[in-house]
Amino acid sequence: MNNKVISLEYPIIIVNPEGKGLEVKELTFGRIKAKHLGLFPKGLMNTKEGEKASFEPKEIVPLIAGLAGISNEEAGEIDFTDLLKIIEIFEDLMGKSLSLKTGKSKHT
């Protein structure tokens, strides 16, 4: 995967090293590396080919943070609408259909 940029419909605030809050309207997701494998939800990693992976939305936050280079707290502020866009990137990347346990949309 090359870097993927997502425009956030609902920007988040990221605190820079100087302690100043910056509004972020886009997130760039880098390539998956070995260090990220431990961040994948178990429901995603334990899925057999052809099965739909299922996991809680909060389980994806560390992976989003790791790939976007932001903190878990900052990733936790991503609006659910934007989260669904990010999940679509992960689906394309992994060639798997992902399922958030929400009861709505194709991600259920």
pLDDT of the residue at 47: 63
pLDDT of the residue at 65: 92
Helices (H) and strands (E) in the chain, counts: 4, 4
Tell me: pLDDT of 107 over 50.
no
User: What percent of the chain is modeled with pLDDT above 90?
Assistant: 37
Tell me: pLDDT of 88 over 90.
no
Q: What is the pLDDT of residues 41-53, one digit of tens each?
A: 776 666 666 666 6
How is the chain split into domains, by residue range? 4-100
Structure-model confidence comparison of residues 54 and 40, the more confident one: 40
Q: Three-state SS string across 17-41, please?
A: CCCCEEEEEEEEECCCCHHHHHHCC
